A = this chain, B = another copy of it.
C-alpha cells in the first residue's frame, strides 16, 4: 500500500497536518467534536490523492456510475485541542472488504505522541441506484487491496 512517490504515505500510514481554524472550536476555544469529523473527511481526501485517486471522481463518479458514501463514523475525543494548534493526523485503512472500506484516524499534536482523538469512517460502494456493489476495481487497486 506504500507509495514511494508520496512522502505523505509510508507503510500504509498517511500523515498530514490540520491547523485548527477560527471557526473550528466551541465557544470556549476547544476544538468542537464536529470539526474532528470534518478533519477525518479531509484526511480521507488526502489519502486518496496520495494513492492517485482524485476525490472528486471517487466519492461520486457520475461517468463510471459508482459512489462511496460514508455510512458510519465514530470518534473518541481524549484530550482537548485548541485554536492555534496544529494537529498531526495519521490515517490508515483498517479494513477493506469486497464492498466497503474502513478508514482509521489518529490525531496527535504536531510534534507530540499524545493521542488527542481517534476515529473511524466506513465507506460503502454503491451503484447509480444506491444499491451496494463491489468496490470499483480502480479504487481497490489504488488502495492496494
| Cα(A78)–Cα(B54), bound, Å | 25
Known: A54-B84, A55-B84. A37 touches B33 (CB 8 A): yes
Interface residues of A in 55-76 (CB under 8 A from B): 55-57, 59-60, 69-76
Interface residues of A (CB under 8 A from B): 19, 21-23, 25-30, 32-35, 37-38, 41-42, 45, 54-57, 59-60, 69-78, 80, 82-84, 121, 130
Q: List 25 A-B contacts (CB under 8 A).
A: A21-B41, A21-B42, A21-B45, A22-B27, A22-B45, A22-B55, A23-B23, A23-B32, A23-B38, A23-B41, A27-B56, A27-B60, A27-B83, A28-B29, A33-B73, A34-B34, A34-B37, A34-B41, A55-B83, A56-B83, A70-B77, A71-B76, A71-B78, A72-B75, A74-B75
